Structure 1
Amino acid sequence: MRLVKGHGTQNDFLVLPDLDGEVELTPAMVRALCDRRAGVGADGVLRVVRSENDPDSARYAPDAPFFMDYRNADGSVAEMCGNGVRVFVRYLQRGSLVEQEAAVATRGGIRCARAGTDGHVAVQMGSPRFLADRPIATAAPHTPLVGTALEIPNPHVVVALDSLDELAALDLTRAPVVEPALPHGQNVEFVVRVASRHLRLRVHERGVGETRSCGTGICAAAVAAATADGVGADGVPWRVDVPGGTCTVRWDDAGVELTGPAVLVGDVEVDDAWLAAAAGAAEIGGTAAPARATMERR
């Protein structure tokens, strides 16, 4: 199996070309590939398939010729990935499948992207949807705090902290406790205001753990901060720093735009015998759902 390793602000992915939709990508295969000690290592897998060749995306084919089938590192299926779609577009560019602009089908809908000459890619992320829940999130050693719940389209709980010291002290090796949890779980962002329209955050992502970056989480944090400030969708950019780098978010009446770097690191050739054995061991060691079962929202 041939893959490409890439990252967006150090949120790293394995890109799997499968234009004809012939690969049955099982959760066990994803877990084996993403294992950082026994496999290649990544936060997730981006399968590249022509939209017409996958039942989850066939309806988008007239408007978005390529489908980003995203899987989290634990093998679960996701709606979208803001950093991943930038890497996906960079891969399409490298293969001369698109030029500067691309419409990408995802389980969260079609996402339009535009690649710049500076190595950055801007993605239209859609409009946020605020949820009525005001869940309480707890991550040691901090006391419980009320968060803002929203979808874009992945579900998030955004929690504001007062200082960078508090942010640095958080233990995110385990998932924060969220009460009540959102129906399909949640990514949790802990955010500090550095300056006007400048945020810094850490995130615990479902199906992965703490990541160096989360594109939809970056958008959720900026939207939550803009709403708290009463400025809303005014189109003025927000800078958001994550451990892996910096992205820019613009929110206006048309929706949210995320801009950040997209890097292709290199090609990877995985031994098929190893993958078969590793995926078999992963199946035995954990419960694996069918690769194209009902979507688990991420």
Structure 2
Amino acid sequence: MNDHVDAMSDALNPKADSAMLPFIKGHGTGNDFIIIDDLAEEHDLSPLQVAALCDRRRGIGADGVLRVIKQDDIFFMDYRNADGSVAETCGNGLRVFCTHLFHRGWLESGEHIIGTRGGDVSVVIDSSGLITVNMGVAKALASDCSVTIAEGRTFKSQAISMPNPHCVAVVGSLADAGALVGKPSVPADVFPSDANIEFVQIHDRGHITMRVWERGVGETLSCGSGACAAAHAAAAQADNNVARGVNQGAGRAR
């Protein structure tokens, strides 16, 4: 999808109400993003502007914004959550980001390094444009953790860095997570900057399903880094039986 949005409307920036900002919309297994090319770094959007763009009723609507920056010879993914806050990385965002660069002709097939706030990430693009992201090694943030849903039920969980923070609870059924209409709470001493929260159901060998509440967004259809954290948590609880794929609301990550 190609279009233009007046990201500098009177409500957002009265001094630049005539500026038009080109954008592209993309998604990875339903996790959708607004992509803005800003190689010259001329449009450092404020949190208010990002939130307005991501508003599904009054803006374009998205789970986040991917701003394309080029620093020296490396593309940098400036990722913002739907509420305007910044994040270390985004797995689905990286796939969408690199797909965009590939279709633009800015990246060819092969291995590339993409910069993120969480560090440089290796990605491989095959000749058809299929993207594989090396998300790195999951790291434990704490030995003991829990998450409490709005209905008051508390689940034992695992605190994992991908390197963005994840709180993963393995549950008997995804329905145990409730309606997820309100933000689940996590311990502030473990997650001082809050966390993405995953509820994971282990079905059989190599098969798990997941629901996710993304920090700064709410419940989304999928989360790439969350799928990695979920696979790590499931393996720790299922005798190192690593999931070959993670089924989410709008697709399967592997």
Please report the TM-score for the alignment, with normalisation by the length of structure 2: 0.86
Taking a change above 3 Å as real, the CA distance of residues 45 and 198 of structure 1, as seen in their structure-2 partners, is same
Cα offset, 1:171, TM superposition: 1.9
The answer to whether residue 1 in structure 2 is matched with residue 3 in structure 1 is no
Q: Is residue 138 of structure 1 aligned with residue 158 of structure 2?
A: no
Deviations 1:10-40 (A, max 9, x none): 0000000011111121111101110100000
Superposition deviation, residue 121 in structure 1: 1.6
Equivalent-residue separation in structure 2 for 1:219 and 1:82 (angstroms):
9
Q: Quick check: 1:142–1:166 contact (8 Å CA) kept in 2?
A: no
Q: What are structure 2's unaligned runs of at least 5 residues?
A: 1-20
C-alpha distance in structure 2 between counterparts of 1:147 and 1:103, whole Å:
32
Q: CA RMSD in A?
A: 1.8
Counterparts of 1:213 and 1:70, CA distance in 2: 16
- Larger RCO: 1 or 2 (CA < 8 Å, sep 6+): 1
Q: Tell me which residue corresponds to 2:219.
A: 210
Question: How does 1:1-298 map onto structure 2 within 5 Å?
Answer: 1-52=21-72, 61=73, 65-101=74-110, 102-116=112-126, 120-141=130-151, 143-166=153-176, 170-180=178-188, 181-231=190-240, 238-248=244-254
Contact 1:104-1:111 within 8 A present in 2 as well:
yes
- Offset, 1:8: 0.4
- Residue 116 of structure 1, CA deviation: 3.6
Normalization by structure 1: what TM-score?
0.74
Quick one: distance in 2 between partners of 1:116 and 1:134?
40
Instruction: State the 4+ residue runs in structure 1 displaced beyond 6 angstroms.
Output: none
Distance (Å, rounded) in 1 between the aligned partners of 2:252 and 2:37:
28
Aligned mates of 2:52, 2:70 — CA distance in 1: 25
SS of 1:227 mapped into structure 2: helix
Shift of 1:237: 5.5
Q: SS of the residue aligned with 1:192?
A: strand
* CA deviation vs aligned residue, 1:180-239 (integer Å, no higher than 9, x gap): 55122111100001221111010111100111111111000001111223327xxx6521
Mapped partners of 2:167, 2:54: distance in 1: 25
Kept in 1: contact 2:37–2:69 (CA 8 A): yes
Q: Distance in 2 between matches of 1:141 and 1:212?
A: 21
Q: What do the CA deviations read for 1:32-80 (whole angstroms, capped 9, x no partner)? A: 110100000000000001123xxxxxxxx5xxx1000000010001110
- For structure 1, which segment, 196-205 or 98-107, has the greater mean C-alpha deviation from structure 2 after superposition? 98-107
SS in 2 for 1:38: coil
**Contact kept? 1:11, 1:211, Cα under 8 Å:** yes
The change in CA–CA distance for 1:172 and 1:29 in structure 2 (over 3 A counts) is same
Q: 1:147-179, CA deviations, whole angstroms, 9 ceiling, x for partnerless residues?
A: 000101010110011124435xx1212111223
Structure 1 pair 28/141, CA: closer, same or farther in 2 (3 Å)?
A: closer
Does the CA-based 8 Å contact 1:67-1:104 persist in structure 2? yes
User: AA paired with 2:166?
Assistant: H
